[in-house]
Structure 1
């Protein structure tokens, strides 16, 4: 019995598996290897991958995994009609190009606009609606394809905000930005806020609870016909960092997001309406965050755009210094490029101009379009 048959024994073709692309190559070599059939594009390129780490979850919840070259996987898939087509379909989702989503050409930068007095990153600098609008307009001018407006802090330990207060904070900002032609995402976990913000001109919802925190959220989104970002969180903001635990953070988060996509599809909302976000820092230790980021390309198997928001997060300071959130730009840019190289479609950031510049250089060096091309 070969390695693949040991992981997915004949007769167990419906077993849950995880297909993480590895053996990443970049630059001109990637195109050559793809042309020779030795590699597949990662999220359409410019990078590629030559192997996968195939994993399955055992009955006791532990993960078994092996790394395999693509040619070995292809030969095995042809001989296993029970499981082979599912592996091939997963590889096709992983290698598929990033297509436009929610009116955004991908990859895209999402700017963060917190209309709050207590957000971890800006300390209430944009609590005044006029200041929030000015900041969002500057982000759009700097290259943000969309700005994410939120009126409730979800930093660790944050208390919930009354929906009426949340609406008072965000609606003037959403309305003015939409009138100015800026694409707006509403960052909320409350159905009422979703409804009113979408009516005021927001084009998508970004929900830290993946539309599970408010029982009316799926119907609110469905009635508006809007797309949404589904984020993973363990617990809720007040308590999420108390003692987060996982059997395998990378795979547990994947299972949660896959489950939310399936549940929403049962409600009549197809997966192509959604993007997913593994929720860096939301109910996760530094070790959990690193495990997710190291295996980030696994989430491409879900077949929907991948959003990553690690900008200014506390784990950067714990790993590399920078006590204040504003002092974590270097780590934020490193994380952003790491995510892009592993197939992320949307980067949610506080420092838009710096991120856009970093992406432009990364794309030029990766051979993704002519130097000087607008990156996002």
Structure 2
């Protein structure tokens, strides 16, 4: 579904004392199927279809006949072998594309991984040895029909690769030298959610608690905002007037439209209509305000906060406050269990098919994209 994906990361905008705690609540995430992380820690040897079955994944041989699989550069796809590596992205173990050998350099082959059932999305970290080579990522469905999903340039540092959902995957290497080994780690996949499992729960609390626990600066700013907000409320009560002296605070907004199809490339008018709707809610001018239950109607108020599409970009050039980015990614999701920002919020990074935000000191960034895995926003 195509919905606004909101980022309220502008905690340093302390002049918007009351605004920021409210904006935190604008990011909502559904509690869809929990992503599964496989980091190969505690494992050893060559992994086949049994060693990882408890995590819903197998390596080596497909359970269904494959159709339309082109000749692979590395030959018949096989399993992976676990090796300790000092530069492992997490922990100490990684998986190499071989069945054994000295340092796993020979023999190296294509890797096949298959899941118990079709998943909605896959990401993994991968490293090669020659930057002139390319990784070829294939996927196949429940009928065994194989499709090339992505071609990725090899890097000598670990990079994050994201591909769309499939039943199984094959990683091949188009190599220009005899060194054909590569290493993978931190496989993250999201099981497909059945219709009877779909929920639309708000994930704001989960994300907020995660940031409070892991980001010291965020926690300090959050606590400071809380203190300043309490002071602001006391000022209202004691002076019976707005702490901002009656000023309406206008927050500049940039909307990043990240689209894979023409239908996802929404119009300027659609963006502007959503900004108008946001302003109606914060200024208490929305048509449905009369339907607020009587128990809560005394709390309805004009927040003296409004939003406007930015008129200047970070370089002070004129803008309409809307950026447009064409992407090869068919749908985006997020992972709360990964420490890699590119996996946690891929739509916010060009490297994962998204668009980098503008400085959050000066703008409220809003991303518009196609979302998967039951993700609300």
TM-score, normalization by structure 1: 0.21
* Structure of greater relative contact order (alpha carbons < 8 Å, 6+ residues apart): 2
In terms of Rg, which structure is larger?
Answer: 2
